[in-house]
Structure 1
Amino acid sequence: MGALTIGIAGAGVLGRLLAWRLSRAGHAVTVFDPAPGPHAPAPGSLHTPVVPHAAGFTAAGMLSPLAELDNAGPEVARLGWRSLTLWREVAAALEPESAGHPLFAQQGSLMVAHGSDTGAAQRVLARLHAASTPADNWPVPRALNRDELTTLEPALAPGLRAWLLPQEAQLLPREMLVALATRSDNVWWCWGESAVRVEPGVIHLAGEPAQHFDLAIDTRGVGARGALGGEAAAVRGVRGEVIWLHAPELQLQRPVRLLHPRHRVYIVPRPGDMVMIGATEIESEDRSPVSLRSAVELMSAAHSVLPPLAEARIVHMESNLRPALPDNAPHTHAEPGLLRINGLFRHGWLLAPALVQDALQSLNLEATHV
């Protein structure tokens, strides 16, 4: 297939990754997004709320396909496992590294639980084993004794039950999103342009003439709701809240996920002595600042497994909306002149490369590799 003109509505993780890959394959790509530019906006406040922006900017960037079996099915884990290799290739192609920090790191992740919550941990491990087939060839979580855990992550509280998930990874979401936009050749980025409808070969913009392409792609997430009915009408936003801390006294090398009967809490190290704690999952489309209840619960849970966080300083808190469909599973729709991908829910970074690869292969638009 020769070079095509391609329009993309939505510059989140999916939109930017598609633009980057399609431009590398020789296609002329135009991207429309209501954001003012490729970077995340500055944090808002109660009286000056932040401008709605891609949920990918708020995410922790954990690439934990096995740990996500806590709340997702085996297909999510399989797509996520494929995405690990694809993200590694993307990060290598986007070098040099961002500000001296690698965009992608693969040192495994930890699942931990307090002794009283061992039952919750065992249920997750049982789901992992039940979901795996011989063809998956997933690494087996390794239970760590106290000495092993102390050697691996000495800042963690003694007495925790812990399991190492080898080969799981993490990336830097904000830096990756900016790199995908600023290092894409042959892409025309139309910031401040809102797509109101996407049809085969056509993207309709607010107050402007329709834009025509060989292929129109809709990756608007929550913004696609109600556009054409069907699955797009069912898209909803699920509120998630995260907290950024400055913790220069904390030495943490890899993401930690706390297994808890009620909370899904993760603690992720970031460059510059920063730590990210997340995330709530609330059935609401409220974009207002983080609530006191959420902040207290997240920070208390994180402090319970990482005592050095007691002297950390709160840098900022933020909330955003994850796009979800009724079954909380991703959905891809392709027909001549049109591609839609939506419903990545809490797995946007985890699933995006594999979903993009499958969609483009189904349309015969590029080769298998990045």
Structure 2
Amino acid sequence: MHAPRFTSSSIGTPSGSTGPHLRIGIAGAGVLGRLAAWSLAQAGHRVTVFDPATGPEARQDGLGPAGFTAAGMLSPLAELDHASAAIAMLGWRSIALWRQVADRLAADGGAPAPLLMQQRGSLLLAHAADLGSAQRVLDRLAQAGALHEAMPRPQALTGEALRTLEPALEPHLRAWLLPGEGQVMSPAMLCTLAGQAPQVQWRWSRTVTALAPGVIELDDGERWDADWVLDLRGLGARGPTPRTGAPAGAIDRLRGVRGEVVWLHAPGVVLNRPVRLMHPRHRVYLVPRPGDLFVLGASEIESEDRSPVSLRSAVELMAAAHSVVPALAEARIVHLESNLRPALPDNEPHTELQPGLLRINGLFRHGWLLAPALLQDGLAQAGLGSALGEPR
């Protein structure tokens, strides 16, 4: 196991910038950027966010933040299949943090907390013919999960128990409950974070062309000075931006990993929690959303192609979903969407800290899963108070 990389250079705050009410500039208004802006503003800092998008609203063309496309699964146990135990432990912390964020937003007049985040566990499913593949996955989960005593173990379900939990599922599936996992309602959460931070100055349609400690430069030549700069741009951090003090090639080695999802509308079909099908070739998940909607995904393709979803992906994803929820045969396809996830060569997140500059990037397929814990750690290391509090 290795922890996500965290590098520093003379960690501390710039001269005269200690204490509350700092002037903070954030590059990027995706999951990390919006959560950081809301959290820092809640703590009394003066926050300005720069992003090339035209506004905070959800978009479904695959050109906006990857967080809008993602299903928002909070599945640290299931991710142990392909990710390190360090990733799972960060994810486990993030579930509690997302709960706090959702409750705070609801208390401040936002949407009810269940419309922002739910925590009812998730299910791992397998067809009888795929039990060999399923058992290998479960063995890996058991071995990695043993490294962290606080994380629960998968619980095998009888057919009767599965029917009680999820009557819509195909009755002959083998199933395991992953207690404590959940989901963020990604479009609702992103829009609410922006909408309930009126004290933040949102500079939409502005592209950051360069940044350095305490300085952001914009595409029209404007120079914006701050006590702290947070670079949370994902793939937008690539390019000619100076990277003073960064490990050689760290951010410049970012790549985009294509993901594809299908949105379905199925009135009368009830699924109470996310499910993930263990399959020899695919990792297929089906996530319920309010309004009889379901998010089905997700392919993981080593490509930076932003073109529409391919026929092959759509057919394979929808066939897998129909095999576990037969009633989806009459579901209507709302839309198909692709987007790019920012990833580094080892698929691990990277945090860089130096006086006046914090960078977090490379969250790969774990953006929603890792964002609160990574941000909490980074802000704490920088000495920046936030609504996320101190790591425990």
1:208: how far off? 2.5
1:369: how far off? 2.7
Q: Where in structure 2 are the equivalents of 1:169-208 lying within 5 Å? A: 169-208=182-221
SS state at 1:120 partner: helix
Cα distance in 2 for residues equivalent to 1:182 and 1:314: 29
Counterpart in the other structure of 1:286: 305
Alignment partner of 1:9 is 2:27: yes
Structure 2: 5+ residue stretches without partners: 1-18, 244-248
1:122: how far off? 1.3
1:101: how far off? 5.1
Counterpart in the other structure of 1:344: 363
Amino acid at match of 1:356: L
SS state at 1:204 partner: strand
Cα distance in 2 for residues equivalent to 1:319 and 1:33: 20
Q: Where in structure 2 are the equivalents of 1:1-370 lying within 5 Å? A: 1-41=19-59, 43=60, 50=61, 52-95=63-106, 96=109, 98=111, 102-133=115-146, 135-226=148-239, 227-228=241-242, 230-366=249-385, 369=389
Amino acid at match of 1:78: M
Structure 1: 5+ residue stretches without partners: 44-49
Amino acid at match of 1:358: D
Cα distance in 2 for residues equivalent to 1:106 and 1:100: 11
SS state at 1:341 partner: strand
Comparing 60-69 and 114-123, the one that deviates more: 114-123
SS state at 1:119 partner: helix
Amino acid at match of 1:69: L
8 Å Cα contact 2:110/2:192 also seen in 1: no
Among all aligned residue pairs of Structure 1 and Structure 2, give the percentage whose two residues are the same amino acid: 61
1:51: how far off? 6.7
SS state at 1:94 partner: helix
SS state at 2:368 partner: helix
Cα distance in 2 for residues equivalent to 1:14 and 1:100: 20
- Residue 130 to residue 66, structure 1, CA distance change in 2 (3 Å): same
Amino acid at match of 2:68: F
Amino acid at match of 1:76: I
Say how many residue pairs are matched. Answer: 363
Superposition RMSD in Å = 1.5
Cα distance in 1 for residues equivalent to 2:147 and 2:87: 17
SS state at 2:250 partner: helix
Per-residue CA distance 1:285-309 (angstroms, 9 max, x = gap): 1111111111001000111111000
Amino acid at match of 1:53: G
Cα distance in 2 for residues equivalent to 1:171 and 1:118: 30
- Residue 232 to residue 260, structure 1, CA distance change in 2 (3 Å): same
Counterpart in the other structure of 2:8: none
Cα distance in 2 for residues equivalent to 1:168 and 1:124: 17
- Residue 296 to residue 54, structure 1, CA distance change in 2 (3 Å): same
Cα distance in 2 for residues equivalent to 1:120 and 1:365: 45
1:24: how far off? 1.0
8 Å Cα contact 1:32/1:191 also seen in 2: yes
Cα distance in 2 for residues equivalent to 1:231 and 1:34: 23
SS state at 2:197 partner: coil
Per-residue CA distance 1:153-208 (angstroms, 9 max, x = gap): 01111211100011111111001001111101421000000111221111111122
Amino acid at match of 2:271: L
SS state at 1:241 partner: strand
* TM-score, with length taken from structure 2: 0.90
1:5: how far off? 0.5
In the TM superposition, structure 1's runs of 4+ consecutive aligned residues that sit over 6 Å from their partners are: none
